[in-house]
Chains A and B, each alone.
Chain A
Amino acid sequence: MSLTTVIQLYVFVLAGFVGYQVISRVPPLLHTPLMSAANALTGISLVGSLVAAGSNHGTLSNVMGFIAVICATVNVVGGFLITDRMLKMFKRDDRKSK
């Protein structure tokens, strides 16, 4: 195992831990938006897709990357749109001030 892999494992474990800490503070009220936010984040596979689509490794590789970019972008755009639609609906009681 190389030093890079070891560092990557550190990063993975620590990020997972941070994720656990941050997510456990999310109230049940916002669990559905959290789920769709997490879904938007899955679109991070776009990063790998972009490299595949733009590298010079032959047409097949480019086409696969191209399809991957489309799918990941749909995931990102869709994920953020759904989440925002949901979050927009959460309002405090405005009737009390009336």
Chain B
Amino acid sequence: MTGSLPLRELIIQGTYLVSSVFFIVGLRGLSSPEKARAGMGYAAVGMLLAIVGTLIHAEIVSYTWVFWGLLAGTTIGIVIGRPLFITVPMTAMPQWVALSHAAGAVAATLVGVNEYMLLSAAGTLPAGTMAALGFEVLLGALTVTGSIMAFGKLQEILPGRPVTWPLQNVMNLVLLTGALGLVVALMLHPEHSAYFWVMLAIAASLGVLMVLPIGGADMPVVISLLNAYAGLSASAMGFALDNNLLIIVGALDGASGLLLSILMCKAMNRSFTNVLFGAFGAPAAAAGKLADGREMRAITPEDAAVRLGYARLVVVVPGYGLAVAQAQHALRELTDLLEKRGVEVKYAIHPVAGRMPGHMNVLLAEANVPYDRLFDMEEVNGEFPRTDVALVIGANDVVNPAARTDPSSPIYGMPILDVDKARSVMVLKRGKGAGFAGIENELFFEPKTFMLFGDAKASLARLVTEVKSM
């Protein structure tokens, strides 16, 4: 490097460097629950430094728009966001995370569009910068529409079941190739702005088309993946604007999104491509009965309470149904009562239970269940043979033994909680229908399985009353 930087640039770069370190230290904090909050504090300081460092940027000549923008954003975030984030149930968190992604990606896309318009008008758009801008806008626009689709599906504004049609994947692939081709064309002829707008339109429709065929059960993977895209879009912005901070934080984000989606796919024993192109979650077969005519066996709350109250070890297996019914507090009350009676209670958490990674952990934490009672699948599976009652609440596919035994099942090979090895199984379930993935569960028809039908919250409240009166 020749020459030295002016003082102002040195200060900016110094601030950015410190900011990057804070971000990494912050993420490092997430490796343990005790340090996590402090870690996020570091990350917030990192973000603040990033803003301060940017505000002294030489290119910023007028602070009017900047000031009002920051003020409006913060106000919207706090005035509308805060009460919303505090009252919105934990179940609805994934879609709000998705919506928040969409907002960030809108910003990335707009910056890219703006930069393209300015540079192409000035006629100074080197191929490298154009490639970076192309990727920024492509990934940004895709994230915007994809996240909004994910929000719609999870909020049940749109149908959660996969929407499919013939040659869907081929069509998406053609569109993606087309968009990439346009980026290359723009690198050669940046002045053809029509290419740019068509590329933007394709990217936006790709976001919709790619999420449409993905079932609600796979949404966590999609949301993590969109997170990675948004991160990569920010990195691309960093390449276009010669900003190392954007590159670093974007890369951190991209890595974390990608890693999370891979971890989730592994937990479901499915490949990335299968999740993204497999259109998982076909319509369910007839409910309540197996092909061989066996039926589920119902149990009354009184009998259920007796079984729980006199057990030595109860392992609770929560699933999305618990979240939907908002029954985590009732569950905590029940397990407290059981523990007072001397029953040992453990919680078994399947990595993909719920709609996002670690969803059940957050949900139970909300109900003040201490996190040292929560056990990962590997830790707890060995416990089931000595478990008196496995209490399955609103979980289905993650306890379906077909994953081990039936090669024709769509979930075959997925690691599951070995609930069927427990001495008895009690299932709290809304009705006789199949699970979210639309697959019938053999476990519910086992002779040692008892079904307690009804809303999970109401059932748990009944159990609490019954156990109290024992």
Contact = CB atoms under 8 A, between A and B. Distances in A.
Nearest to B242: A4
Given A67-B110, A78-B103, A28 B247 contact: no
Given A16-B255, A41-B43, A57-B118, A35 B111 contact: no
Contacts of A57: 118
Binding site of B, secondary structure by majority: helix, strand, loop or mixed? Answer: helix
A70 B81 CA distance: 13
B37 A87 contact: yes
A6 B249 CA distance: 18
Interface string A1-21: 110110010011101111110
Contact of B254 (A16, A67, A69, A82): A16
Sorting the interface of chain B by its residue count into under 10, 10 to 19, 20 to 34 or 35 or more gives: 35 or more
Given A20-B259, A65-B65, A66-B69, A47 B253 contact: no
A67 B68 CA distance: 10
Interface in B241-276: 241-257, 259-260, 263
Point out which of B93, B233, B249, B358 has the most chain A C-beta atoms below 10 A from its C-beta: B358
B31 A35 contact: no
B454 interface: no
A87 B362 CA distance: 8
B138 to A, nearest CB: 15
Interface string A69-98: 111111111111111111111111111000
A24 B260 CA distance: 9
A86 B321 CA distance: 20
A79 B253 CA distance: 13
Interface string B31-64: 1111011001001100100110011010111110
B366 A93 contact: no
Point out which of A24, A45, A79, A81 has the most chain B C-beta atoms below 10 A from its C-beta: A45
A75 B366 contact: no
Interface string B100-115: 1101111110110111
Given A8-B244, A70-B76, 4 more contacts: A19-B252, A19-B253, A30-B33, A52-B114
28 contacts: A11-B244, A12-B250, A13-B251, A23-B255, A26-B30, A30-B31, A31-B351, A35-B260, A36-B100, A37-B27, A41-B43, A41-B253, A43-B47, A44-B245, A55-B59, A63-B65, A65-B114, A68-B107, A74-B81, A74-B100, A75-B107, A78-B77, A82-B85, A83-B40, A84-B37, A92-B34, A93-B372, A95-B370
